[in-house]
Amino acid sequence: NGILHLLGKTAAARLSDPQAASHTAQWLVEESVTPAGEHIYYSYLAENGDNVDLNGNEAGRDRSAMRYLSKVQYGNATPAADLYLWTSATPAVQWLFTLVFDYGERGVDPQVPPAFTAQNSWLARQDPFSLYNYGFEIRLHRLCRQVLMFHHFPDELGEADTLVSRLLLEYDENPILTQLCAARTLAYEGDGYRRAPVNNMMPPPPPPPMMGGNSSRPKSKWAIVEESKQIQALRYYSAQGYSVINKYLRGDDYPETQAKETLLSRDYLSTNEPSDEEFKNAMSVYINDIAEGLSSLPETDHRVVYRGLKLDKPALSDVLKEYTT
């Protein structure tokens, strides 16, 4: 169809190794132009330490690799055949439409219409995680909180940036696994108030669609274990991106000398938690085989998981002592 796309023209649109910028893993689309001279411009934000607790597991990380889509701007008032980014790092163009992806910088109160310009620093998610697909850490600390549609017709609408639609995303947040639970579309009157029924002529807005799925919140017993000092000390390993072993290392699921590396099953955890005696027996049978297996691995290759958290050799003995005595 003749559309030309430009990827990764600037560093802001490249996902690269923070220690070696020439090691580029992804070139993100940054601008598109049609044969009619219609342009689309994509803006990105780089991950940083805003609102992140930089102690504990987060200490010493270089989290600058990740890129988040921030804005999609289109509707250039004057057609142009050439890509703007050929000659400029930031197009100085009058855009008529802007789609904003907000990560909490503009507030998430449904009663307050968000501004076009970010007012605060973005929010941190409770369950940060890392990707290692490209050989370096890509740390993710953000959730897209809302998607905003702005029109820019100052002469017709009386303001430079007019909020037309707001998709507000709501999450069930917790440190184990955050889930999207609701999404609702909001609109506002010119005075900033949410659009509401008038004289019963306008039907009330429907409730937001609720997302299904099993809750990721752990059972009370698991929560107590997760809060113990030994498990807290092991959170570092849970962020390293290695394989995850399923189902609590239960004896009836694994041969005596091996463990199957699979994804952790939330359904299993929520409905089939082993009894105390069952768990002690399973740990007693397999702890030695696991420790022996670890002894042959490099220190950085910890692949054993206890209830979703990876254990090294010293930690395994601590857990065994805690749960078999």
120, 149, 154: which is closest to 50 by C-alpha?
Answer: 120
**CA–CA dist 138, 101 (Å, integer):** 20
297 band by pLDDT with thresholds 50, 70 and 90: very low
**What is the tally of helices (H) and strands (E) in the chain?**
7, 14
The per-residue pLDDT of the chain, averaged, comes to 73
More confident residue, 235 or 175: 175
205 band by pLDDT with thresholds 50, 70 and 90: low
Residue 226 has pLDDT above 90, yes or no: no
What integer pLDDT is reported at residue 278 of this predicted model? Answer: 52
What phi, psi does 268 have (nearest 5°)? Answer: -65, -45
Task: Count Cα atoms within 13 angstroms, Cβ side, for 198.
Answer: 4
Report how far apart, in Å, the C-alpha atoms of 275 and of each of 248, 251, 280, 305, 321 are. Answer: 11, 13, 9, 18, 17
Residue 217 has pLDDT above 70, yes or no: no
Report how far apart, in Å, the C-alpha atoms of 299 and of each of 278, 296, 302 are. Answer: 30, 9, 7
Q: Per the structure block, which two tokens stand in for 124?
A: 């941190």
pLDDT, tens digit, 9 for 90 and up, residues 77-120: 999 999 999 998 888 899 999 999 999 999 999 999 999 999 99
What integer pLDDT is reported at residue 60 of this predicted model? Answer: 87
261 band by pLDDT with thresholds 50, 70 and 90: very low
283, 287, 286, 242: which is closest to 264 by C-alpha?
Answer: 242
